[in-house]
Amino acid sequence: MKNNRHDVRRTNLQSSSTGATGYIGGEGLYALYKAHPDWKFSVLVRNEEKGKPVQDAYPNINLVYGTLDDAQVIEDAAADADIVLHTADSSDHEVSARAIAKGILKGHDSSHPGYWIHISGTGILCWYDMDNERYGEPPLAEQAYNDLEGVGRLLSLPDTAFHRDIDKIVLEAAAIKPDVMKIAIVCPPTIFGVGRGPANTRSRQVPGLVEATLNKGFGPKIGTGTTEWDNVHVQDLSNLFVLLAENAALGSKSQPSEEEIWGPKAYFLAENGSHVWGEVADWAAQEAAKKGYIEKAETKSLDVKEAEDMLGFQALSWGLNSKGKARRAKKFLGWEPTGESLKDHMKELIDSEAKLMGKA
């Protein structure tokens, strides 16, 4: 089902979001505001200084001041909102997740449910490699997931999986009153591209690899470099947020696919392509050498500790596998990603990272 963006049921719809100064949240707010400037937006920011670029970009939105640990502030905002988009450390922050759940249940009922778009991440699919300390090896057949026929596997991942504890908080809270709290968990893989938010417009995983390439003079990989992840352009991801929000605005009772979009099965893997991390390292080295930022176009292997010491989990992820096909959003929301490929984006990324590092 493909939504018509000019046919939303509710007027004066109230949207609340976190992470507006971040990469994902800033892009999400941009896309939602551009699509529906008539909606009312309430945005959590840490303080006036952090909120200034957001307010400058969107003079009509309402800023709510607080941190992710200010549970009452978050609860009150969620209670007032028709739709909550949670992106700020959303996959790992317990206090904010519980506060959003409490607020939605407090401020809504079955005649006026609250919708929660919760952002997780496909680091959750790395669990097997992490549990078995299996780094730098290609994916096994059983490490391939999908969010449609295979959604049951996503909903029963082991508790050791990265982000799984917060996913369970969201799912268990929604199960209390499923007619009051409507959830959709969006699980993006490697995100790339320049964001359009008012503050941070830079991703982490691939820019971190490019930064390491420019610092080390070679493209870094872990082990054989044959690990694989999926990827998505940041603007394709924010388009999915818009489609979900518009579906929420339409209301659920007349929609035959409602339970596929909101509820326990509403787990959206948001990919539009895949990459091998060793090949990404090679692309980075090739482009960096071509532009004269490093001497030779070569890749070298790092051990796990060296990579983790360099950039934490984002570097460690180069040695893990995360494979999950996005079928649900395409089938039930008509999501059609159109962004450029990660390989094509590398040319621009090399220059932007070199400029940030003072090398250009």
Average of per-residue pLDDT across 209-224 = 96
Give the C-alpha distances (Å, rounded to integers) separating 198 from 29, 48, 55, 119, 246.
Answer: 9, 14, 9, 20, 23
Average of per-residue pLDDT across 146-170 = 97
Other beta carbons within 10 angstroms of residue 172's beta carbon come to: 11
Q: For residue 304, is it within any domain? A: no
Q: For residue 302, is it within any domain? A: no
Q: For residue 1, is it within any domain? A: no
Average of per-residue pLDDT across 189-208 = 97
Task: Evaluate if residue 15 carries a pLDDT over 90.
Answer: yes
Average of per-residue pLDDT across 181-201 = 98
pLDDT the model gives residue 7: 38
pLDDT the model gives residue 254: 55
Q: Which amino acid is present at 256?
A: P
- What CATH number corresponds to the domain at position 268? 3.40.50.720
Structure tokens at 186: 């969006």
Other beta carbons within 10 angstroms of residue 29's beta carbon come to: 30
pLDDT the model gives residue 1: 26
Taking only the tens place, the pLDDT of each residue in 314-339 is 889 999 999 999 999 999 999 999 99
Residue 160 domain boundaries: 14-202+231-274+323-339
Confidence of residue 313 (pLDDT cuts 50, 70, 90): confident
Q: How far apart are CA 268 and CA 324, in angstroms?
A: 10
Q: For residue 31, is it within any domain? A: yes
Lowest mean pLDDT among 131-145, 191-205, 253-267: 253-267
Taking only the tens place, the pLDDT of each residue in 265-300 is 999 999 999 999 999 999 999 999 999 999 999 999
Lowest mean pLDDT among 10-14, 142-146, 180-184, 226-230: 10-14
* Rg, Å, the chain Cα set: 20
Q: How far apart are CA 24 and CA 18, in angstroms?
A: 10
pLDDT the model gives residue 4: 35
Contacts of 44 (CB under 8 A, 6+ apart): 16, 17, 18, 19, 20, 64, 65, 66, 73, 74, 77, 88
pLDDT the model gives residue 331: 97
Region at 301 (left for phi over 0; alpha for psi -120 to 50; beta for the rest): beta
Average of per-residue pLDDT across 242-258 = 84
pLDDT the model gives residue 26: 98
pLDDT the model gives residue 312: 83
Q: For residue 81, is it within any domain? A: yes
Q: For residue 128, is it within any domain? A: yes
Q: Are 146 and 325 in contact (CB under 8 A)?
A: yes
Give me the percent of the chain exceeding a pLDDT of 70: 95
pLDDT the model gives residue 2: 31
Q: How far apart are CA 90 and CA 115, in angstroms?
A: 16
Q: For residue 330, is it within any domain? A: yes
pLDDT the model gives residue 5: 35
Average of per-residue pLDDT across 189-214 = 97
What domain count does the chain have? Answer: 1
Q: Are 228 and 190 in contact (CB under 8 A)?
A: no
Contacts of 64 (CB under 8 A, 6+ apart): 16, 42, 43, 44, 45, 73, 77
Average of per-residue pLDDT across 209-221 = 96
Q: How far apart are CA 177 and CA 175, in angstroms?
A: 6
pLDDT the model gives residue 3: 34
Q: For residue 56, is it within any domain? A: yes
pLDDT the model gives residue 306: 87
Taking only the tens place, the pLDDT of each residue in 23-77 is 999 999 999 999 999 999 999 999 999 999 999 999 999 999 999 999 999 999 9
- Indicate the angle between helix axes 94-107 and 71-80, nearest 10 degrees: 40
Q: What mean pLDDT is reported for the chain?
A: 94
Phi, psi of 138 (to 5 degrees): -70, 160
pLDDT the model gives residue 270: 98
Task: Evaluate if residue 109 carries a pLDDT over 60.
Answer: yes
Task: Evaluate if residue 11 carries a pLDDT over 80.
Answer: no
3-state SS of the chain is: CCCCCCCCCCCCCEEEECCCCCHHHHHHHHHHHHHCCCCEEEEEECCHHHHHHHHHHCCCCEEEECCCCCHHHHHHHHHHCCEEEECCCCCCCHHHHHHHHHHHHHHCECCECEEEEEECCHHHHHHHHHHCCCCCCCCCHHHEEECCCCHHHHCCCCCCCCCHHHHHHHHHHHHHCCCCEEEEEEECCEEECCCCCCCCCCCCHHHHHHHHHHHHCCEEEECCCCCEEEEEEHHHHHHHHHHHHHHHHHCCCCCCCHHHHCCCCCEEECCCCEEEHHHHHHHHHHHHHHCCCCCCCCEEEECHHHHHHHHCHHHHHHHCCEEEECCHHHHHCCCCCCCCCHHHHHHHHHHHHHHHCCCC
Structure tokens at 153: 């596997």
Question: pTM of the prediction?
Answer: 0.95
